[in-house]
Amino acid sequence: MTTPRSVALERLAYTLAAPVLAVAPNLYPDSPVHSVVQLAGAAGIGGIFLAAKSDETGAGRKILRWTPLVLAAAVDVAAGHTGGFGPYWLDGLLAAGWAAAGSFVLPFSRHTRRRHRPALAAPAPQPALAQAAEPTVAQPDDGADQLTREARMLWERAGMPARTHVVKATRHTAMRHDLTLLLRASETGRPITGLSPEIVGAAFGVSAADVILKDVAIQPGCQGGPGWMEALIIPEANARRRTKPTDAERWIDRVAGPKGGAPGSELVHTTRDNERGVTFYRAKMTDSTESPRIDLPKVCRALGLPEDDSCVFVLIDGSEFLISAFDEPPLSQIFPATRELLTPDAKGMYVCGFTITGQPVKTMVYQHDKNAPAHGLTLGVSRSGKTQFFAINMAAQSLDGQVVWLSTVRKDEKTTVLGKYIDRQGSNALWMARSLRAAKALCEIRAEMPWPHDGQPHDYKPGDTRCPYRQLNVYADEFMTAAQDSDFGEFIQKDGEDLTVTGLKYGIGFNPAGQSPFAHNGFSTEMKDNLRQNSRPVIFNMGSPGATRKAAEGTMENAYDVPTIPARYSRSEGSAIERAMKGEADPENGVSTGGVAVIVLDNGRAVLMRSLYADFDTDLSNLFPDEVNRLTDYEISELEKRGLWFDWNEPVRPGEFWPEPDEDDEGEGRSHRRGGGGGKGGSGRGSKSGNRRSEQVASPRQALEAIKSLTDA
């Protein structure tokens, strides 16, 4: 084997340089040779350092190239520090060893050859070329890349499923095994049929769940239609999706499916508000013509949210909806009432509370768009917050210069306190009947009351400074109970219904409150419709979520989704199953929902809000105006003429609601109560024969006479 010329020349250089390294430091210490060798050694050390630090391949070969220079410098330094040629001619031995190492172990020329390039110029033997494979139907010679060819091999091995051909295989970004196959039918004009995820998964050795088949859309310059199909093979993406899914993927997999909490929906985006401690999930229906059907507990379980601690709410707006997940119950916060919030604006609107998202909720003291007063409908069980809402509503009406009357069935502390800041207040069914009768009479008085600018009567117009009277607001708390009173119930119900229908023309608003908005409890259909159309009904806790929802739907034109008001807000702590297994009691950490209500807005949408809080333990004068608004002298004098203006706490006056006892009625002395709206002109309800003492019937003749007397025949 012939030695390469570069190796022979390098060995000759080592042989000639070795004596110089041994002799020069001893005979000529200050010669330039010494400096050159040292500089070469320094360069070798630098080259070794850079080679070791580099991440490129071939670092060892580079180090071996520089080693002879470093060893030469070492021999030169050793020779310079020994006396003479050193003991046993050490300098000569070191130089000889360096020359031998360079010649036979570390030749520079050998380590400059890469990829084992032949050292001789003789031509290397060429391997025989393998016979090229002929193109087949599965692997046509179309210049496809390596990935496509490998996919075609697997597809051909599977027997060309569904008589299809792999046109192209595209690897997904940053994925080793995920790819997309573009398939077409082998015969032109034939649709692809019979292809399933199981068939594709078997061909590529993946699960059928990791295969997605998609249609190819027809685009300019690209074929598509039934003869084309895309197969997405995504085992890596699915593995990551199962362990660390994104919000959008979790929504698709667990919420938007047919059995999910919001079927047919898609997540628009997720937003986190750290300041308020809330996460918003905004979503919409894939088909904009559909209405959301949301099972909120199911959505909470799918998203990993607590479902029973009153921190998750849903707001629906057409085909879109918003799910708000709070860290703490948002409606447990107290919003104190202030005069600034309660002062009505130019359209008669004032802030009565705040929603879960912190938005102010407004209601009206009059209807600006209808140029009329506003009625009011407030529902809720005891201790739900009705009287609190009365207080802020009365304060807003008083700040607008309106007159307020309040009647309740029974006396309590809060209504007595409110009586200091309003025109009139009473606490029994008789007082309520008298107030409604007087308000009804005011409709007749105001219908004939001349306006100063032209001397003619006009309908009431809110905000018109020419109006000679103030708006009157009549409150009837526990109206349902009062309407069922045995003595005055029918007067209360009849006058309340008439006032609801006719009062708006004459500046009188009726504000009943109770625990039911239905006809069998005192609210006739006509009365409820008028209240609903001319107010923003407010429904507090009705005792159960179902009763609250039913009451709210009873005040709405359409049955929109009604928010739920639980009996208490309570955060779930730990596992109920674990507590049951250990025999431990559930934590009692509930927060009252008093003051939380559903308000029905003008468009029929029900909104959950927390009403403003008026503290009855403090002075309420900061909420009400300095002077109490009252009726005009003319109105009071007209009511006095009709015998309707006096101390309504007096006992029933003779003939006030029904006629005087009939002395001719066989000495019975029993009164005949009249129906209708009161006054002395009401029609009688009973008859003399109806009050006769029943006689003993001893014969058929007496029985016949008794029947004739009963039927007034």
Instruction: Name the 3-class secondary structure at 498.
Output: helix
Q: Is the pLDDT of residue 3 over 70?
A: no
- The residues, ordered by sequence, that sit 6+ positions from 203 with a Cβ below 8 Å of its Cβ are 154, 155, 157, 158, 161
| pLDDT tens-digit readout, 298-355 | 999 998 888 766 788 888 888 999 999 988 888 888 899 999 999 999 999 999 999 8
What pLDDT does residue 276 have? 86
Q: Is the pLDDT of residue 225 over 70?
A: yes
Q: Which of 525-534, 636-645, 691-700 has the highest mean predicted lDDT (pLDDT)?
A: 636-645
Q: Is the dihedral of CA 440, 443, 444, 445 positive or negative?
A: positive
What pLDDT does residue 590 have? 67
Q: Is the pLDDT of residue 678 over 50?
A: no
| pLDDT tens-digit readout, 59-109 | 777 777 777 777 777 777 777 667 666 666 676 777 777 777 766 665 555
- Percent of the chain with pLDDT strictly greater than 70: 79
The phi and psi torsions of 410 (rounded to 5 degrees) equal: -130, 155
- Would you say how long the chain is, in residues? 713
Q: Is the pLDDT of residue 694 over 70?
A: no
State the CATH architecture for 339-566+589-642: 3-Layer(aba) Sandwich (3.40)
Q: Is the pLDDT of residue 419 over 90?
A: yes
Distance CA 422, CA 439 (A): 15
What pLDDT does residue 656 have? 86
Distance CA 586, CA 313 (A): 24
pLDDT: is 141 or 686 the higher one? 141
Gyration radius of the chain's alpha carbons: 49
What pLDDT does residue 219 have? 80
Read off the pLDDT band of 687 (50, 70, 90): very low
- The residues, ordered by sequence, that sit 6+ positions from 221 with a Cβ below 8 Å of its Cβ are none
Domain ranges of the chain: 5-108, 146-240, 245-326, 339-566+589-642
What pLDDT does residue 691 have? 38
Q: Are 596 and 608 in contact (CB under 8 A)?
A: yes
Read off the pLDDT band of 571 (50, 70, 90): low
First-to-last CA distance in the chain?
150
- In this predicted structure, which of 116-125, 172-181, 236-245, 565-574 has the lowest mean pLDDT? 116-125
Read off the pLDDT band of 700 (50, 70, 90): low
| pLDDT tens-digit readout, 445-470 | 999 999 998 989 999 999 888 999 99
What pLDDT does residue 237 have? 86
- In this predicted structure, which of 72-76, 357-361, 421-425, 593-597 has the lowest mean pLDDT? 72-76
What pLDDT does residue 695 have? 46
Q: Is the pLDDT of residue 183 over 60?
A: yes
| pLDDT tens-digit readout, 595-631 | 899 998 877 788 889 999 998 888 889 999 999 999 9
Distance CA 393, CA 666 (A): 53
Q: Are 353 and 311 in contact (CB under 8 A)?
A: no
What pLDDT does residue 559 have? 60
| pLDDT tens-digit readout, 530-564 | 888 899 999 998 877 778 888 887 777 666 677 87
- Percent of the chain with pLDDT strictly greater than 90: 40
Q: What is the DSSP string of 83-121?
A: STT-GGGHHHHHHHHHHHHHHHT--TTGGG--TT--SSS
If we measure between CA atoms, which residue out of 29, 28, 32 comes closest to residue 40?
32
Read off the pLDDT band of 49 (50, 70, 90): confident
pLDDT: is 123 or 334 the higher one? 334
Strands annotated E in 261-348: 265-273, 278-285, 312-317, 320-326
Q: Are 554 and 606 in contact (CB under 8 A)?
A: no
Q: Are strands 596-600 and 606-611 parallel, antiparallel or unpaired?
A: antiparallel
CA 638 to chain centre: 57
pLDDT: is 555 or 284 the higher one? 284
Q: Are 438 and 492 in contact (CB under 8 A)?
A: no
Q: What is the mean pLDDT of residues 402-407?
A: 96
Q: What is the mean pLDDT of residues 274-291?
A: 92
Q: Which DSSP category does 326 fall into?
A: E
pLDDT: is 587 or 345 the higher one? 345
pLDDT: is 594 or 149 the higher one? 149
What's the mean per-residue pLDDT of the chain?
81
Tokens, residue 226: 């039934």
What pLDDT does residue 12 have? 75
Calculate the alpha carbon distances from 493 to 231, 432, 479 in Å.
72, 10, 8
Q: Are strands 403-407 and 472-476 parallel, antiparallel or unpaired?
A: parallel
Read off the pLDDT band of 139 (50, 70, 90): low
| pLDDT tens-digit readout, 656-666 | 888 766 555 54
What pLDDT does residue 285 have? 95
What pLDDT does residue 676 have? 40
Read off the pLDDT band of 654 (50, 70, 90): confident
Distance CA 395, CA 446 (A): 24
Distance CA 678, CA 444 (A): 14
pTM of the full predicted structure? 0.63
Q: In terms of DSSP H, where are the helices of 208-329? A: 235-243, 247-250, 296-303
- In this predicted structure, which of 387-401, 608-622, 686-700 has the lowest mean pLDDT? 686-700
What pLDDT does residue 336 have? 93
